[in-house]
Structure 1
Amino acid sequence: MNALPVLPDSSAPTPLLVDGWSRFVAARTSAEFCDAWLTVLRDKFPLIVQAAILVESSDGQNYVPIAVWPQANSDMARMGEAVQRALTDRRVVVQPCAEPAGLWHVAAPLAVHDRIAGSVVLELTANDEMLPGLLRELHWGSAWLSNLFIRREHDAALAASVRSLGVLEAIAIALRHERFQQALFDLSNELRRRFAGMRVAIGLMRHGEVKLTALSEAATFEKSSPLVQAYSAAMNEACDLAQPVEAAAPEHDAPDSFRAHTALLQRTGAGRLLSLPITQQAKCIAVVTIEREAPAPFGEEERKWLETFGALLAPVIAQRVDAERGSWQRLRDEGRRFLAALLGPRHLLWKAGALAAALVLALLVFLPVSYRVSAKTVTEGETQRVAAAPFEGFLAASFVRAGDIVAKGQPLAQLDDHDLRVERAKWASERDQYDNKLREAMAGHDQTAMQVVGAQLREAQAQLDLLDDKLSRVKLLAPYDGVVVTGDLSQQVGTPVEAGKKLFEIAPLHSYRIILQVDERDIGQVRAGQSGELVMTGLAGEPMPFTIAKIMPVATAQDGHNFYRVEARLKQDSPLLLPGMEGIGKIGAGDRKLGWVLLHSLFDWLRLNLWSWGL
């Protein structure tokens, strides 16, 4: 509960006590209230030698005196130990003074909502009889100080709330419009109204210099006019000083060193002005200048409002300015930031990355490497012969299949000759009959019969010759020593075959040609006579050199791409090589720069597409 200071027990109060109580009742400030409270306490307890009331500083880091009695002096430092114990232990501390002897220190913490907001410390002469009463009076009377601190915090919170609401209203104006220029114009008019100013100007940092961007009650202005130049000079002066600059006209105040602000005051006729730099990440991005006709200085509450406003406005300006940059401006800013990180201090990773990129670029541009065209490769025999069915018939037997080595004249397969032999016997019988008829006609000298029977005899003989020829070709023979490349009839015995049907394909041994399928995008790099190396799938550990022999001028489509057939000859035959083997061949196309080898396909594609688009 709140307790009033107790007056001494006498019929009439002393004049000093009445004076202290009058000051206590009439106090208007916290300092006056605390000073009167100490006076009343000292008047009631004369044993108090000196006293002080400490309150928490604005930054919350330490405690500073708000009132002292009788006056501040160096002897008060010896009361610090008692104050420290009271604040740490959160209780009243009574302890003797080490030097000079005979003095005692009393310190009581002042709590506000479970928080220590200050302390009362007294230095007094030893008096065992009056000490309990002093402690009781200190306990009761400290409630006045606690109420004072609560009221101060409430007033500060209320003022901060009002200030924050006003700042948010002003920030909302800066966010209201789509175009930032219009938002700044409305914001300058709002600031002029709020501070009862004569004029408010807002400038933005552009290319290292603050330029006037918005002027209250002036939607447009001439950027090269002397007035605008004066505003820009004053704003740059505040930006260079990196602190708020308040200046008054010379006739209202003593001249100061702010020359640009003094020149602006003389040009506009204002009594006082304040320039507030708006900073973002320790960099000045804008300046707000407020002019007043009256020479009265800006109050503490107004400065706090402006500081809060500047802290909240800084990110808004940075984001809006960044959002309204053009494409070239964005590119230029990013380039400058990159160069600053690359050439300026710190940013070791950027520098290492740039050095690595420069090294890679140098290798791409200057390092020569051997360029080789890769192509899918297959081996074929130098000459390939096809063993086809000589006539229609049925397959009687198959003696070989793909992969078998055959000798010249070796049977490959045999057709069924039963029907041929039956038909031959028939035509042989008819031939004998026509021969007998011819003899009879010749004996009877019948010329007509001789001609008719002779023709029939010749027909029968021709049929016999044809059948004998077919019978001689019933067995398919190997044309030369080689290997069967294709053909496996072991599962088709007894099935009919058509005349001319390919049954086997035979290639000679140790005489091959290499067929490379070169993509049309790389065919321009291939010339006859170029050398290369071939690695077959089954012989991956043995590269075989070859030479380009011929480039076929006809392309074939495979898997959505066009390929040219390129023939090559092995420089040295390999006994392990077989027809039909596949692999990868690389054709040496000379030395090229590493960058060209890696990127020429991309550049060719870009050129082709740009050409197709008409560029």
Structure 2
Amino acid sequence: MYQSAARKNPIEPVELFSRQALSWSPELGRILNENGQDALENSRIVSRALEENGAVYLLSCPVGSRDRYRGCLSFVILPGKQPIESFLAVIQLLAVILSSFLDKLESITGVDGEKLLQLTIAVAGIIGHRGRKEAYLYFNEQLRSWAGCDMVAVGSLNDSGQVVLKSLSDVTSVDSRTERSRILMKGLSECVIHQHVDTDSGEGNPVFQEMLHVFSQKHACGLALVNGEGVRRGAVVFFWDGKKKDMRFTDTIRASGQILASALLALENRKGMSGGIIRLNRLRRLKTGAMVAVMAILLGLFSLLPVPFRIHANCSVLPVYKRFVVAGFDGILKQALVQPGDRVQQGQVMAKLDGRETALLKGSLEAERQKALKTRDHHLATGDTAATQIAQLEVLRLEKQIDLLREREHHLVLTSPIDGIVLAGDMMRIQGSPVNKGKVLFEVAPLNKMIVELGVAEENIGYISRGMSVKIRFEAFRNQAWQGEVQRIKPEAEIRNNRNVFLVELEFDNLDDRLRPGMKGKANVEGGKKPLAWIVFRKPWYTFLQLIDSLW
């Protein structure tokens, strides 16, 4: 529990108790609050046993210096065989760290440090809620209580970069299909785009004005939730129906972005935690200290057990290379002889272009060439040297044009450049239509070897190296697994489905033609063996580090 010592605009005490602690006394919050008040009034650490359970101790330590106490940090603990003095030393250290943290926040102009601390402790209570829906309702209610507003809307960004409404005050189940929900999502999107939107600042945002009208509110303040790395996680909008908020609290809301972003990330990463909580509760029911010690030792040994570390990634099938058959000049498609799926040999005719116009033009130029030759011979006979040279140049010009038309006639028949399969180019449906120069008519690729491309998430690329074993199952052949090795890792990341991924490639022989370009599947890369505890807790640990970074 943390309680403020401020006499002007004091904040309400913030508490975070486990279920086990609440079972020790039904009025634990009131008792711990009184213990903290005693510590503040006497300017000293107060330690006493709980009346209902003598094995439980209440510890309260003032935060700050003697001439200016900011508040009091209180704990309820079950020390067991450990001396109470060791816990007192730890609590004093925490109080010093907390005081330093508040001093740092106070140096930021317009920011209420104790308000931010109250928010941090309040949202930390989401860890006590098993379900994501229950946790979001708790998160929303804590924000409304903290801001003293009438309504709060919270949204998060999905994989496609769109804002999804997650919770709304006094609404147990949010339906994103309703008109009111769509208006809120538009407002949350405005916050993500503009970082901060406030109807009191005179900006006159039309989307926010529409929200105020629909929900019959007078003031609104929206904030984009950005973590310490600059990544947008979502947005939150506070609504007031009555009294206008002061500007200092508006600045405090702006400063709370990283804290709320970390809490939102924790809400979105709650999969798979229920089973662990249930197992922990079962362990707590063990009454004998010997059994608890044995279980702790076994759990520690089990957590150090090396198990295979597998990196999961989506994958797709690509040909090793492609060749394109294109129109070399503007013309008419006379006939298409192949279609997608046909197997072709190198040099096989795939399509023909209409050559009648070319033949007519060539005949016309041949006639002009003969005329130019006669003119040249006439001037040569009369001894007119200048006219003879001009006529000779005209003959050369016509011969070059005739050579160009002959080359065009040579390309009226389009052939396959390689042995392979026609992947694209259904030209039979448009026979007789004009085609432009450079238009791709067919795509041909050999399918005897295929490339499987894996999209490995950025946070996992550091664990990938060449030669690692890969197991793949394709959607088309779920009962069969393909085994291979990592052959290439592209050095530059790409955006796939709004995620930053690195492309990893491996090749497979495809002599039976089962693999086709565009097939999708799931891949598991064998990353060696790691301790079980590292595999299970690495992501929660990184989330915790982000929360710490956002606070400091």
Question: More relative contact order in 1 or in 2 (CA 8 Å, sep 6+)?
Answer: 2
Q: TM-score normalised by the shorter chain: which range applies?
A: 0.3 to 0.5
- TM-score, normalization: structure 1? 0.43
TM-score normalized by the length of structure 2: 0.47
- Higher-Rg member (1/2): 1
